[in-house]
Chain A
C-alpha cells in the first residue's frame, strides 16, 4: 500500500501499462500479484473503502470491483498472448527438414510380367474364360503331334526346342494346354492359359524363356469374326484406348484359317518409330480357327463344333507398357529395375 493512495483510475492505468509490458509469464505473474494478489494494490484499495463515508462506500466498492475485473481480464488476455507467443516460438524451433524421405514401410513391387498377366487374365475372366495351366515339361505329342505338327516337318524348325534326357521337351508354346484341356471335355468351353515357354534362342530380341497367354473357345457357332471381336476388345483393354488391328494370313499347323495379328504402333500411330522398327505395326501374336485335326485328336466332332484359338507374348506387352528397351531387363532380377515398376 502506498502512502499517497493513488486513485482507482491511476491504479488501473498503471496496471494496464505493466501488464502490457510483462515480457513473459513470470513477469506477468509478478505484475498480477502486485495488483490483484491478497497484498496487492487493488486489495489495499478495497480495504481502504472502510475509511470512506458510508454513502460513498457502495459506489467506490462497485467501481473498484469493476476495475479489478478489467485488470483480471487484461492479465488473462496478456497471459493468452504470451502463451501463444511461447508456443509459436517452440513451434518455430521445431521445424523439420521436410525434404527428407518419409519412413513408410518399404513397398515391394510385382514383376512387370505379373502386372501385365493379371491385366490380361482380368479381361478374359470378365468374358467368362477360365484359367488353365499345363506343365512346362511336355511330351513331344502334346507339344507337336497333337497340334498337327508332325515329326520331320519343317514347322519343327521354327520352334527351336530344348529337349530333356528322357525325350521330353520344354514346351515351346502354351498351346499344349489346349490339348490337355480339350481332351475329355465336352464343348462349349472357353479357357485361357498363361504361362512360361521356352525356345532355344538367345539374342538381344529373344530370351530362352518367355511368357505367353493362350486362349481358346469351342462352341457350335463361333466364327473368325468373333475371334476378331474378342481380340479388339482385348487390345482396347490392354492399351487403354481403341487400337487398330491388322490380321495377316499366316500358317500355324493347329489353326485353319490362321492369322498373325499386329496392332498399329501405339507410340507413333503407324508413322514408324524405333519401337516398331519403322513398320508402324507391332506384332502381337497368332490366332485362327482351331484345325479340325486338333479337334479330332481331342475327340471333339469337328463337323459339329468349331472354335478359335489365339496366343500372344506377354513380355513384349510389358516392355511396351513400361518402356523397357530390352528383354533381358525382365529376367536379370536387378533390384534397381524391379523397384521402378
Chain B
C-alpha cells in the first residue's frame, strides 16, 4: 500500500523518515519505505554566493563567485535579477545533469567562462515559476545535496500488508500503528455532515436478504451535486496511493476509503429502480454490466446489490455501469456496508477481479466503521461537489458477525512463550497501545477487550504477539534451549543419496539440479513403450509454461537436455549427474510415488587429449566404471546383464544392474534414435539408479583379509574363444577353477583379426598365484594353470594360442 506522507502527517505526528520506516518495518509493515517522487536533484548542492558583481560585458548578467564546499570558489555567470551576495542558492556544477536531461558544460558567456549554474526552481523541475533563482534558507549548510535541505517532491510511505491486517489499509490504521509503535495521538478528521435535505428514507429503503453475508448496510443520500473534477490536492493524494481520479464524487468515496479503510460506493440515484436497495445472492443467469466495461454472468455464489428490479453492483467488489455517477448525475446514493470476507473473496475470485474494495473486505474491515465512513463521505461530497445531504441514514443489519470480543491472557504464560519477564502492569500498558484495554481478573491474568477493527486477535498467543511486537523483538533475551538429548536420525535414503553424490563427484562428475517440469513429447522422444509406467506423468493444471505441463518420471530427459545444451556451448566433454525425486503415478495411499533417483550422463570427449591415448576407453566402459565403483564403495554386490530392454539405450552397449535379485538401474550408451530426438550429435552414455530400491537391498560390510608376504607367481594365458562369449563369464569361471592360490585374474588383451580364425577372439588373461605361508613351487603353479586351461577347453571350447 502507498500513502502520501504529508497526508499521514495530518493524522499523527511523525518522527524522522528513517525512524518511521524502521519502526514500522520492525512492527510488521513489510518493506516499509519512504519514497520521494520528483526530480533527482542529488547532484545539486547548496552554494554560498561569496561575491556578486555586474558582468563586464552585459548589463543584465551578473558575475558571481560561489562557495560550493569544494574548497575553491567557482566562477559563474548568472542571468537572474534576484541574485545577490550572501545568498544560499542551489548550485549545479559542470558535469551534473538537470532534471530536463541537459548536462552542464563549461561555457563562455559574453567573454567570461562560467563553470556551473545557479538554478531557478523551474530549472530544477520543482515548479513552473521562473522569476529568478531559488534562494535557500540562510542556515543551509554549504555543499549539502539539495534534497537534504528542501522538499523536492511528494513523499509517499510504501509498505506491504500481511493478510491478517486489514485494519492497517487506511490512514487511520497506519496512524494507530504509529501510535502503538512510536507514539503520538491520532487526530481523525471531522466526519459529521451538514444535514439539510429531506429525509433519505423518502428516497430509498434498504433490505438485507443474505443476512449471513452482509452484517450492516447503510445508505446516505446527497441531492443536487455538481459532478466535476476534484481539487488538485485530492487528485495528487489519490494518485500517490495509486488511485486514479474520476470525479469529485467518486474521488470522495476513494478518499474516505483511504482515510478509514471502509470501501464505499456511490450510485446515481436517478438510475435506481423502485427506490429500493437489496443485498442478496444473485440468481443463476442474472447479468451485470460492471464499471470496467465487462458484462458478467452471475451465479448464486455471488453476493449482489440490487434495486427493485436487477443487480446494480457486485457487493464489495465493483459497481455496475448503469448506475455509475457521471457528469449528469444530480442525486446520489452512497453505500457503506460490512460484507463477509469470504463471500467477497469468492465473488472477486470467481470473476477474476481484485479491487481496492475487495482487497480490504477480504482482509477484514472494521465492523463498527460503517456509519462513520458514510458520514464522512457525505460531508466531503458537499464540500467538493456541493449539494445537500439528506437527513438521516437508511440502514439495515444482517446477522451479527462471529467475532472474538475478549481474550484472557495469563501474563506468566506469555512470558513463558517469549522467554521474557514482563510485569503485569507493563503487559497491560503495551496492550493498551494497540487498543486492547485490559482488566485484571485474577493475579497476573488479564482480560483484554478486542477492538472492533482487530479481527485478527483470537487466542492468548495473539495477545502475546502484540505484547512482543510493541515491547520489541530485539529486547527478548537470546537464550538456548535446554532439552533432552536424543540421538540424531537421518533417513536411510537421504544417507544413500549423500553417499552417491560423493561417489559421483569422486568419479569426476558434477552435480546439476534441474526443474522437474518436462514437455509433452518426452515419452515419445525416449521411445517408451505404450504401457511403460513412465508414460504416466503427473499433470500440472496451471503450468508456468504451457509447453511444460508434466512432472518427470525419470531423470533421463533432463540430463540428455543438459548434455545437449552444454555440448552446444562447445564443452569438450559432459560429465553430469543429478539426484532427485521423480514423480510416479500414485499407485496407493501408501506412497512410494516419489522415489529418489540418481542419474548421470557422460559424453565422448571431443578434443584430442594432449597426452594422446592410443586406446581410449569405450564410452560404455567409462560409464560402467563409474557405476561399478559407486556400488562397490557403497557396499553393494552387483550383477551386470547385457541386452537391456531399455528403449532409450543402445541394445548392444547397455546393461542392467541387479543387486540382491532386483533391477536397481541401467547403464548404457544412448540409442541413436533417442540421441537424434534430443539433438545429441556426440555419443553419450547414461547411468540411472533407483536409490529407493537400492537402499532396500543388503549391503556387504567391509571386512579385513590377511595379505601375503610371499612372492606371487604370474602367468599370462592367451586363449582362443568364440567371439559371442561374455568375457565376464569366462573370468568368473577362471576365478572358480583357479583354486585357493589364485589371487587375481585380469583380462589384459582382447584381439580378433589376422592370425585369429573367423568367429573366434583371442583373450589374454594375467593370472597371479600366491600362498599365505610359503612360496609356490613351479609344479604347483603349473598344475593350477593346467586346471584352468582344461576348464576353458572343456567348458568354452577354448584353445591355447
Chain A interface (Cβ within 8 Å of chain B)?
100, 103, 105-111, 113-114, 118, 125, 128-133, 135-137, 152-155, 157-158, 162-166, 170, 188-190, 196, 200-202, 207-209, 217, 219, 221-226, 228-230, 232-233, 246-251, 253, 256-260, 289, 291-293, 306, 330-336, 338-339
Contacts and interface: CB of A to CB of B under 8 A. Distances in A.
Contact of B165 (A108, A229, A251, A331): A251
Contacts of A230: 480-481
A87 B52 CA distance: 89
Contact of B571 (A131, A253, A336): A336
Interface string B450-464: 000000100101101
B474 interface: yes
Nearest to A202: B544
Given A154-B362, A256-B464, A222 B481 contact: yes
A163 B540 contact: yes
Interface stretch (B90-98, B307-315, B416-424): B416-424
B480 A105 contact: no
A103 B490 CA distance: 37
A339 B478 contact: no
A248 B473 contact: yes
Contacts of B456: 251
B509 A108 contact: yes
Interface string B402-430: 00000000000000111110000000000
Interface of B: 25-28, 30, 162-165, 342, 345-346, 362-363, 416-420, 456, 459, 461-462, 464-465, 468-469, 473-474, 476-486, 488-491, 493-494, 498, 501, 504-517, 538-544, 551, 562, 565-566, 569, 571, 574-577, 580-581, 583, 586, 591, 593-594, 610-611
16 contacts: A107-B505, A107-B508, A109-B505, A114-B501, A152-B342, A163-B542, A164-B538, A164-B540, A188-B484, A208-B517, A232-B478, A248-B27, A251-B162, A257-B469, A260-B30, A336-B571
A287 to B, nearest CB: 10
B593 A249 contact: no
Given A249-B28, A250-B30, A106 B517 contact: no
A103 B591 CA distance: 47
Contact of A246 (B26, B484, B504): B26
A274 B22 CA distance: 20
B70 to A, nearest CB: 24
A70 B583 CA distance: 90
A135 to B, nearest CB: 5
Nearest to A107: B508
Contact of B594 (A131, A136, A162): A136
B163 A335 contact: no
Contact of B513 (A100, A113, A166, A222): A113
Given A152-B346, A223-B416, A336-B569, A170 B540 contact: yes
B481 A131 contact: no
Contacts of B501: 110, 114
Contacts of A207: 515
The 8 closest A-B pairs by CB, nearest first: A225-B419, A223-B419, A257-B465, A251-B162, A108-B505, A249-B28, A333-B512, A247-B473
Contact of A111 (B363, B476, B511, B562): B511
A233 B478 CA distance: 10
A256 B473 contact: no
A187 to B, nearest CB: 10
B304 to A, nearest CB: 19
Contacts of B538: 137, 164-166
A131 B494 contact: yes
Given A202-B544, A208-B544, A306 B591 contact: no
By secondary structure, the B interface counts as loop
Contacts of B480: 226, 229-230, 233
A331 B515 contact: yes
A151 to B, nearest CB: 9
Contacts of A249: 26-28, 465, 468-469, 473
Contacts of A129: 488
Which of A188, A224, A334 has the largest count of B CB atoms less than 10 A from its CB?
Answer: A224
Contacts of A331: 513-515
A18 B649 CA distance: 77
Contacts of B511: 108-111, 114, 338
B539 A334 contact: no
B473 A106 contact: no
Contacts of A226: 419, 479-481
Contacts of A157: 163
Contacts of A105: 508
B170 to A, nearest CB: 17
A207 B514 CA distance: 11
Given A157-B163, A247-B474, A256-B465, 15 more contacts: A110-B510, A152-B342, A162-B540, A196-B580, A209-B516, A224-B473, A226-B480, A230-B480, A249-B469, A251-B162, A251-B163, A257-B465, A257-B468, A333-B566, A334-B565
A259 B541 contact: no
SS class of chain A's interface: helix, strand, loop or mixed?
mixed
Contacts of A334: 565-566, 569
A332 B514 CA distance: 7
Nearest to A129: B488
Contact of B510 (A103, A109, A153, A170): A109
B461 A256 contact: yes
A300 B465 CA distance: 21
Contacts of B575: 106, 108
B26 A135 contact: no
A91 B456 CA distance: 85
A339 B509 CA distance: 9
Contacts of A163: 540-542
A326 to B, nearest CB: 15
B513 A330 contact: yes
Nearest to A153: B163
A219 B481 contact: yes
A170 B550 CA distance: 12
A168 B462 CA distance: 31
A137 B486 contact: no
B494 A162 contact: no
Nearest to A281: B25
Given A256-B462, A257-B418, A224 B468 contact: yes
A232 B476 CA distance: 13
Contacts of B574: 335
Contact of A108 (B494, B504, B542): B504
A277 to B, nearest CB: 10
B26 A162 contact: no
B566 A128 contact: no
B567 to A, nearest CB: 10
B526 to A, nearest CB: 19
A131 B491 contact: yes
A129 B487 CA distance: 9
Contacts of B512: 111, 333, 338
Given A163-B542, A256-B459, A223 B479 contact: yes
A143 to B, nearest CB: 15
Contacts of A225: 418-420, 476-479
Nearest to B354: A157
A289 B461 contact: yes
A226 B479 CA distance: 5
A249 B538 CA distance: 39
A32 to B, nearest CB: 41
A208 B515 contact: yes
Nearest to A198: B516
B508 A108 contact: yes
A165 B476 CA distance: 46
Nearest to A133: B491
